[in-house]
């Protein structure tokens, strides 16, 4: 899972990309990068948060009316594989991606044996970039050729992805995988200084912050090409049953964002209301959230039950999102520093503690121990997401089933004992389906994967090697 943004038509494209990346920082903390084009490609990237990688001086070098940016959360390759990536032939192409390609090892071999292209990294974006470049190199340039190049990616790359690319002297192209698993939106703005500008991003909130309007989702299987004269060419290349990642609404996306015309904030409120039904009649003093993502569901749960809502855990704003940290040790250390209790709201109380999800159980276990040490009487630990029992191969960082707290074969009682709660309550899968509708990927909950996963073993093996 990463954050991507692209801008074309603005004389301050890189500055806008930078601003958008700040609004997408929650999607990736390991590395950041921006590439611009002004007759030649220029880029700057490095490990760390957006504000630590870029300075006023580095941004001033990224000139041009076209730019692409990326905030990285690695699931393929190392954190040092900062995007965007670049290939100089044909035309010069820069590309950034959010997602994962399951059959990446197969694509590596295909590119080497059939196209005589040797990849320099274990980042699946490099395979996509070279597939795209190979297709563009076959014929004279046109919008149709671009769409055929995207179709070639659809044909060969199995996974979930949203992608933005710049082509030297030609324009910008963006596309979403045929199942629409990873999010991507498009917006426009009429700039007094230079006319029409267009932008793409992982979330609409990043574009609204820069006054883009007419923001809408790129469709599953759709490719959009904007040429240098800012003419918009779009084509639906594949029509499939859409399967947007449910984890976007549960955890990843900002609460003010909207995905597939469903507001993230409204979805989280509704999930909290459904959870409240499971707690009626219980002896509860307070409802407290695990900040920040679960706050919305916790508010709705408390309101529905008529129980006081309190901020019993205070977040250190300088500690990143623990789930997307790159190792288990980093996650455990971060939890210790991230949350501090408000003793007066905990001691002697029967608490409902609401979290957005339980993946590895690390955060839940540490929080419950913290609350016990502060004198909590009874702890109901509540997850607004159903049990995550199966691995994700589409860009969420749990491809190894052995890491999952609620992995297949384990009962809720097993997990309750492991994390130390008095009561453990999960959202029902049926309730999640009711709130989000049928067009979602919920494979990590019920193993119904939207694409074939026979190559997933290779993916999992590569992921383990990346962590070593």
Q: Annotated active-site positions, please?
A: 2
Number of H helices, E strands in the chain: 16, 23
Q: What are phi and psi of 60, to 5 degrees?
A: -65, -20
CB contact set of 235 (below 8 Å; sequence gap of 6+)? 147, 222, 223
- Rounded distance between C-alpha atoms, residue 14 and residue 201, angstroms: 14
Positive or negative, the CA dihedral 355, 360, 361, 367 is negative
3-class DSSP state for residue 144?
A: helix
CB contact set of 114 (below 8 Å; sequence gap of 6+)? none
Nearest to 290 by CA among 247, 335, 354: 354
Nearest to 390 by CA among 378, 380, 377, 399: 399
Give exposure, 48-71, as e/b (b: 16+ Cβ within 10 Å): ebbeebbeeebbeebbbbbbbbbb
Q: How far is C-alpha 32 from the geometric centre of its chain's CA atoms?
A: 14
Both structure tokens of 148: 């055929």
The angle subtended at Cα 326 by Cα 323 and Cα 332, nearest 5°, is: 60
Both structure tokens of 295: 């706050």
Q: Is 22 exposed, middle or buried (CB count within 10 Å of its CB: 0-12, 13-18, 19+)? A: middle
Q: Is 191 exposed, middle or buried (CB count within 10 Å of its CB: 0-12, 13-18, 19+)? A: middle
3-class DSSP state for residue 424?
A: strand
């Amino acid at each position: 899972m990463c954050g991507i943004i692209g801008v074309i038509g603005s004389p301050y494209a890189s500055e806008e990309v930078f601003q958008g990346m700040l609004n997408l920082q929650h999607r990736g903390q390991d590395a950041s990068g921006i590439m611009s084009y002004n007759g030649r490609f220029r880029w700057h990237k490095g490990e760390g948060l957006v504000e630590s990688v870029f300075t006023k001086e580095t941004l001033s070098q990224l000139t041009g009316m076209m730019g692409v940016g990326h905030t990285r959360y690695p699931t393929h390759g190392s954190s040092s594989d900062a995007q965007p990536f670049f290939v100089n032939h044909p035309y010069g192409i820069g590309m950034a991606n959010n997602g994962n390609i399951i059959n990446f090892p197969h694509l590596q071999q295909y590119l080497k044996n059939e196209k005589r292209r040797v990849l320099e990294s274990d980042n699946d974006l490099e395979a996509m970039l070279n597939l795209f470049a190979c297709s563009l190199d076959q014929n004279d340039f046109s919008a149709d050729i671009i769409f055929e190049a995207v179709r070639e990616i659809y044909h060969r790359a199995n996974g979930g992805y949203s992608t933005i690319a710049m082509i030297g002297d030609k324009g910008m192209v963006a596309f979403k995988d045929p199942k629409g698993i990873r999010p991507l939106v498009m917006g426009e703005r009429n700039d007094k200084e230079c006319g029409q500008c267009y932008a793409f991003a992982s979330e609409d909130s990043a574009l609204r912050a820069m006054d883009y309007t007419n923001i809408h989702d790129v469709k599953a299987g759709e490719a959009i090409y904007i040429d240098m004269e800012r003419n918009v060419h779009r084509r639906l290349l594949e029509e499939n049953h859409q399967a947007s990642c449910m984890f976007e609404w549960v955890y990843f996306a900002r609460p003010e964002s909207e995905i597939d015309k469903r507001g993230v904030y409204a979805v989280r409120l509704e999930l909290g209301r459904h959870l409240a039904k499971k707690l009626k009649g219980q002896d509860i003093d307070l409802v407290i959230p695990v900040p920040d993502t679960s706050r919305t569901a916790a508010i709705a749960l408390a309101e529905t039950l008529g129980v006081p809502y309190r901020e019993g855990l205070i977040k250190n704003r300088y500690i990143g999102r623990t789930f997307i940290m790159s190792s288990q040790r980093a996650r455990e250390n971060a939890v210790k520093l991230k949350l501090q209790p408000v003793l007066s709201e905990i001691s002697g109380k029967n608490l409902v503690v609401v979290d957005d999800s339980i993946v590895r159980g690390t955060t839940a276990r540490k929080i419950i121990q913290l609350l016990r040490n502060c004198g909590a009487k009874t702890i109901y630990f509540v997850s607004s997401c159903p049990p995550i029992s199966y691995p994700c191969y589409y860009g969420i960082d749990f491809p190894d089933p052995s890491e999952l707290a609620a992995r297949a074969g384990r009962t809720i009682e097993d997990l309750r004992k492991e994390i130390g709660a008095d009561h453990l309550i999960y959202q029902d899968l049926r309730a999640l389906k009711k709130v989000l509708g049928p067009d979602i990927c919920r494979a990590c909950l019920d193993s119904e994967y939207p694409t074939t996963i026979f190559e997933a073993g290779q993916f999992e093996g590569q992921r383990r090697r990346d962590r070593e």
